[in-house]
């Protein structure tokens, strides 16, 4: 059954209000940058609250015998669902239509920020089963650089986590593109304190 846009937005707001943030988890991601300084990197990350351990496993295809470890005591998760999803009181939504994905229907809305900022969502695709964001398209502008991109989310265990992100920007007349792919999520009630100990 296809729902009306007002009903979908109501379900979306309710789903966002109760979306669960994992207490502690690990994942791997692959980062690709194409432009002035092309780079490909693979990392393993451990997160608990704002603490993060980032292990760089390889750079440009060269795998390290021992990962390069960086510890962050207070690091914002820039790709967290609640960081990126447009709030219904901060955006106006215009219904575009439905989009089939497998056996269920997703709902697409163009979005317009009520206040301009460095990051603005331009389109939201709402998953027709969970009513959480399946795809978020955005634009950014900072220091004279304009960019655009999108991030997709998917179910991992009982959580709704980043799946892929792409972005492109024109920097001083040169096109720069980035892609991030997340994989191998594992969730825990907590991580050992030694995980975040400085060496």
Q: Is this model's pTM higher than 0.85 or not?
A: yes
* 64 close to 58: Cβ distance less than 8 angstroms: yes
Neighbours of 74 (CB within 10 A): 8
The C-alpha angle with vertex 72 and arms to 36 and 85, in degrees rounded to 5, equals 70
Residue 129 structural domain: 5-38+77-196
Is 59 part of a structural domain of the chain? no
The pLDDT of residue 189 is 97
Q: What is the pLDDT along the chain (199 residues), one digit of tens a residue?
A: 899 999 999 999 999 999 999 999 999 999 999 988 899 999 999 999 999 999 999 999 999 999 999 999 999 999 999 999 999 999 999 999 999 988 889 999 999 999 988 899 999 999 999 999 999 999 998 777 889 999 999 999 999 999 999 999 988 778 899 999 999 999 999 999 999 997 6
Chain segment 13-36, per-residue pLDDT in tens: 999 999 999 999 999 999 999 988
The pLDDT of residue 58 is 96
Residue 43 phi/psi, 5-degree rounding, is -125, 155
Calpha distance 169→139 (Å, rounded): 10
The pLDDT of residue 153 is 98
Q: Decide: helix, strand or coil at residue 12.
A: helix
Chain segment 55-73, per-residue pLDDT in tens: 999 999 999 999 999 999 9
Is 69 part of a structural domain of the chain? no
Q: Decide: helix, strand or coil at residue 103.
A: coil
Is 82 part of a structural domain of the chain? yes
The pLDDT of residue 143 is 75
The pLDDT of residue 198 is 77
Is 130 part of a structural domain of the chain? yes
Residue whose structure tokens are 């975040």: 196
120 contacts: CB under 8 Å, gap ≥ 6: 113, 138, 139, 140
Number of domains in the chain: 1
The pLDDT of residue 141 is 84
Calpha distance 114→117 (Å, rounded): 10
10 contacts: CB under 8 Å, gap ≥ 6: none
């Amino acid at each position: 059954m296809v729902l009306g846009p007002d009903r979908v937005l109501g379900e979306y707001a309710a789903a966002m209000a109760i979306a669960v943030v994992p207490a502690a988890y690990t994942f791997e991601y692959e980062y690709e940058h194409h432009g002035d300084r092309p780079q490909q990197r693979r990392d393993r990350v451990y997160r608990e609250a704002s603490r993060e351990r980032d292990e760089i496993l390889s750079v440009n295809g060269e795998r390290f015998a021992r990962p390069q470890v960086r510890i962050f005591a207070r690091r914002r998760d820039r790709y967290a669902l609640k960081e990126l999803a447009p709030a219904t009181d901060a955006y106006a939504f215009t219904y575009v239509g439905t989009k089939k994905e497998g056996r269920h229907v997703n709902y697409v809305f163009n979005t317009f920020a009520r206040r301009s900022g460095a990051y603005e969502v331009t389109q939201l695709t709402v998953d027709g089963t969970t009513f959480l964001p399946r795809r978020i398209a955005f634009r950014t502008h900072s220091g004279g650089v304009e960019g655009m991109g999108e991030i997709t989310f998917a179910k991992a265990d009982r959580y709704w986590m980043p799946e892929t992100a792409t972005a492109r920007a024109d920097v001083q007349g040169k096109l720069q593109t980035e892609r991030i792919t997340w994989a191998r999520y594992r969730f825990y009630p907590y991580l050992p304190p030694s995980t975040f100990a400085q060496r």
